[in-house]
Structure 1
Amino acid sequence: MSAPQALLEFFQKEATEYLDRLEQLLADTQAPDPSSFLTSARALRGSATMTRLEGLPDFASTLERLAAGLRDGELRWDQRLQFAVRGAIAELRQLVDRAPVWADADQRRARTQSAALASVAAGYLATTSPAESPVLQVQPIARFFPDDGLPAIVQRNPTPAVTIGQRFRSDIAAAADGVARESAALATSQAGPSQLALTDGVRRALLGLADVADSYGATSIAGLATRMARAPLDSGVERVGVQAVAQLLMNRELTDAQLAAQVKQANLTWNGAPAPEAAIVSIESMLYRGHSAVTRAREVRDQLKVHWQRGTLAQPEAHALFEELSDLLDLAVTT
């Protein structure tokens, strides 16, 4: 349902004036006057609300919230945010021109641009100064391990349900999943403000991954994720590289040694070093015999246990493991 044609024509004239004021406020590279910026944005939102055009008031409201955040010191302003806001105003101007012939495509476009602007603004939240931050009382660890002969308050569990290594792989995989989702959305996006928002989303996910890796002392992963976050991310090669690293870190089937080796290679590849050529291995060296067959059989057994825990023993991969285990039992008696 939309407003009468006469009201839409009045809205177009009024909204155009508000948009002109907003563009004038953004003409300088410095931050716009917060009060004037909020006044014009609020007026635009109020005017758009009367049109009852689905999506358009939401877009204008997002711009108003951004202006309020700037006025209240909740947002930090820089050239990139200014570019995103100017792009949003240009989109609003085109949508205002479409008001008399508003369609579902215009509604989707308004909501998409609204979400994109909100996503960009979320990356510019001002941090609380240390003086205003609550002070946490730090308890020294020695307090929990008294030296007066009494039992310690805190003790290490000798048989933890989840080891530190398992928790590391789980947390890294979860952080990498966020990078994979953000980079997949970026790969299918179109150029414009929405793509800038998605790029910022990838950067935040990469920095989150770096924080997780750094908390475990995994400096190679943390350094790679940080360098990726600082890259332009505007080429297909860079975006594919980010997705490949995310998929690598999500692969729980790799051993820790295999993961470390592939992360090392990913670091070299991202820095521009060519991938090493695969060495030619003779078929004889690939055959298991004696003790090596037993060792491999144990690895296969552990993989089958994982399938059993997941309830996937009926999958072709599990059947292949059963066949390999049978062959390994025969090879174990050879020298």
Structure 2
Amino acid sequence: MSDSKTSVRKTIVEKVKVLHSSPGDTFFPDFLFQNGEKPTDVWQIFTTTRTGLLPSKTGIHTCYSEEEASALAAKYPVGSELPDSQGVEEYKMDLVRAIMESDFPFGVCAGDEESPLAFDVLGDSGIYRGRYGTLSQKVIDFLGKQRTGKLKNRFGENWHVAAAFEYCWLKFPHSSPAFVAASYQYHYYITNDDFSAGYHWRDLEVLVHGVEAEATKAIETRKKAGVSGSRKSAQSREDRRNALMTAMEDVARRNPQIAQLGEKALVQLATAEATESDPALWRQGKGQVMEYLGEIRRGEAGKDLQAKYRALFPAKPPKRIG
């Protein structure tokens, strides 16, 4: 098993859009200023990201100057990787505690039943004293007596599940197996949200057993193979053009009169000779020899091949009309 306290997924920026608006505009965020004065201008940055193989999602950040918006948009351009962080620890602590102390069910939907895998992951991560053990002292010390007291009062005998969830939220990346395991237990034992618990259980299995890592690796392999295939195809095309020109020169040298019949006659004989000389190279491409010849003639295949073509087929001087 890999380190359960490190991030497994990468979050990649797919799209960035900056939208300027003023009060009265359709997209002006009035809800942000219900209890205060509205600014004359705001810039909203819509950032679409995708974490691992999960669905894409779009977040919005509001700025109050064009310079600030431009700087933030430029910080994470399309294709860049976002750090797996939920912000500074003070903000993270306020957020997780607001979620835990509200009655609103926080989570996503799916379904399954209790899983011992979560205990294994959290035990290996040092959250519990061994697998199925009590809460570790480092978690208790981190939260402190006052906070653990509040958790005991609110969650009763399941307070340790809430404590583990809060600790993992604050300390670990949210795509780490440890955080997903703590989220599963929190929804299973505390919110009684079987759909969210089941989702996190399945997600935990995917992460721990390397399913996502293997899938991501396969995708990257296919991408590299595509690039490699394109390069190989381009190289083969270049090799066939060179072989075609070499064969044309050989045929013309042995039979000077052939060139006088025109390029098609010479190419036909040269193609047969080139194919016989290197059958593997010409398993593909024989139907494109006139395209190759056009590229050579126009100089798209390089000046050297164009010069050789012109030596075989010199440009004819214009005729006088009269």
TM-score (norm 2): 0.22
Greater percentage in strand? 2
The structure with the largest alpha-carbon Rg is 2
Q: Which has the higher contact order (CA 8 A, sep 6+)?
A: 2
TM-score (norm 1): 0.22
